[in-house]
Chains A and B, each alone.
Chain A
């Protein structure tokens, strides 16, 4: 029996109880099962959660926007016109006329609405461009980069996209030679580029040499300004961070104006447990904006879990840091 799964009153803690309910056959929860199968309090608790689940599953369906179909139809029209190889479908054209006639009976109104809908739909259905920051995902200290797991084609693609990140960091550094966040990002990316180049000798070596030269120059210029331990980013919660300056944010386009960019996240570290991954930009800790690693340390100094909010591909996400 694992004593830490049981509360002072003798009942399993609710998380263990839930885990047993989800995996009733698993031997991992045998001690919980031995108690809960004959415990009315535990049974009542699980029944309570089941009722909650049931309510979630029976929430009424939501209506899509009233004009959703007209947007989809307009996007399909645009797609067909731009794709001559598409199956002609004579019935489709006839069917389309029926819909158009029913939806927009007035020719003038129809053309105006269609033009608007077409422009809107083509814009809105285009899949979002993946953020270049996502390329940081493969950079973990343990793996030495993801290069070894990539095919030759993937290496070339990744190299190309990382150069974009490198360019952004270099541009921010050119604006402010003491932008240590930009320097940390640049050096991190340069390291991965080196690994990638070793995997694919066909890569543009001249471009790579220029990349490496820029990184080395950045290193030299920063060495004069800051202690060495800042060169590769600041470390907290088991992750390396780069402070996002306005210049770096502008160069990266997708990043918020301030925050902390996760460069690397160690496996099993507090940052990883909270859900943070390389490429995420931490924006708030305990409800307050965060701009430096000092902010992180100051807000988790007492060891209590605190809420954290970050952006991943621009999408707000949140979790809790348990900085034991």
Chain B
């Protein structure tokens, strides 16, 4: 897979600026090589942090989740088998930790592969529309926001969301509907297709 053979620049023990595959970095990271760990961290820190922030919405909470995820990843790196990308593995740890913060304990951590959702390059929208979208997301009730992110961005099914958040299947669907409706109303000015009214 692409991520595991991607070349990364290593600045640790080897010659300055030498290039290493992710697999080699993981091998070194398992021995406690802090420079290799840092390189792995830098290769996907933004994606891991963004996942935590999307689900938790609160920046301080997301910082806690992100740090916790990386700490756990490197202290449990012996359990990483290399079957998926390391980035995807940490991503899933962060996502589960973030979900864990949004619901009570005693619920099993949901299964899932270690795939990071595809993130196409941001299209060229006016900056004010990005700002408006952030503002509209901030207005959603927390429950709606979590379900919206898990369904639309993380690609989980309603059944998976219901299991993860300890809510009913139908509640996940209803919250998604209400979240989209509120978002569509709030963001109507930037959806220039004229269909905004239909969404309300």
Contacts and interface: CB of A to CB of B under 8 A. Distances in A.
A47 B199 CA distance: 10
B70 A72 contact: yes
A52 B71 contact: no
A218 B191 CA distance: 61
Contacts of B74: 72, 76
A273 B171 contact: yes
A84 interface: no
A177 to B, nearest CB: 31
A94 interface: yes
Contacts of A80: 32
A91 B64 contact: no
A317 B180 contact: no
A65 interface: yes
Interface string B119-162: 11111010001100110010001110000110011000010000
A58 interface: yes
Contacts of A98: 11-13, 34-35
Interface in B52-101: 53-54, 61-64, 66-68, 70-71, 74-75, 78, 101
Contact of A313 (B48, B104, B142, B143): B104
A64 B49 contact: yes
A49 B180 contact: yes
A277 interface: yes
Given A92-B34, A315-B102, A125 B68 contact: yes
Contacts of A86: 32
A90 B11 CA distance: 16
Contacts of A87: 30-32, 78
A57 B142 CA distance: 18
Interface residues of B, number: 83
Interface in A85-118: 86-96, 98-99, 102
Contact of A95 (B34, B67, B167): B34
A276 to B, nearest CB: 10
Interface string A1-34: 0000000000000110011001000000000000
A105 B44 CA distance: 26
Given A51-B191, A62-B46, A95 B133 contact: no
A320 B171 CA distance: 11
B15 interface: no
B51 to A, nearest CB: 9
Contacts, number: 214
Given A60-B122, A64-B46, A79-B71, A45 B199 contact: yes
B106 A90 contact: no
A86 B31 CA distance: 10
A96 B34 contact: yes
A201 interface: no
Contacts of A69: 38, 41-42, 45
Contact of B176 (A18, A41, A313, A316): A18
A301 interface: no
A63 interface: yes
B126 to A, nearest CB: 12
A44 B196 CA distance: 10
14 contacts: A45-B195, A52-B184, A52-B191, A57-B152, A57-B153, A61-B50, A75-B71, A93-B32, A94-B12, A94-B13, A99-B35, A124-B63, A277-B104, A318-B143
Interface of B: 11-13, 28, 30-38, 41-42, 45-50, 53-54, 61-64, 66-68, 70-71, 74-75, 78, 101-106, 117, 119-123, 125, 129-130, 133-134, 137, 141-143, 148-149, 152-153, 158, 166-168, 171, 173-178, 180-181, 183-184, 187, 190-191, 193, 195-196, 198-199
Given A59-B133, A86-B32, 17 more contacts: A41-B198, A56-B149, A58-B119, A64-B63, A68-B45, A69-B41, A76-B37, A76-B75, A79-B71, A87-B30, A91-B12, A94-B12, A96-B35, A125-B67, A273-B168, A315-B142, A317-B142
Interface of A: 14-15, 18-19, 22, 41, 44-45, 47-49, 51-53, 55-65, 68-69, 71-73, 75-76, 79-80, 86-96, 98-99, 102, 121, 124-125, 127-128, 130-131, 134, 137-138, 272-273, 275, 277, 279, 307, 312-313, 315-320
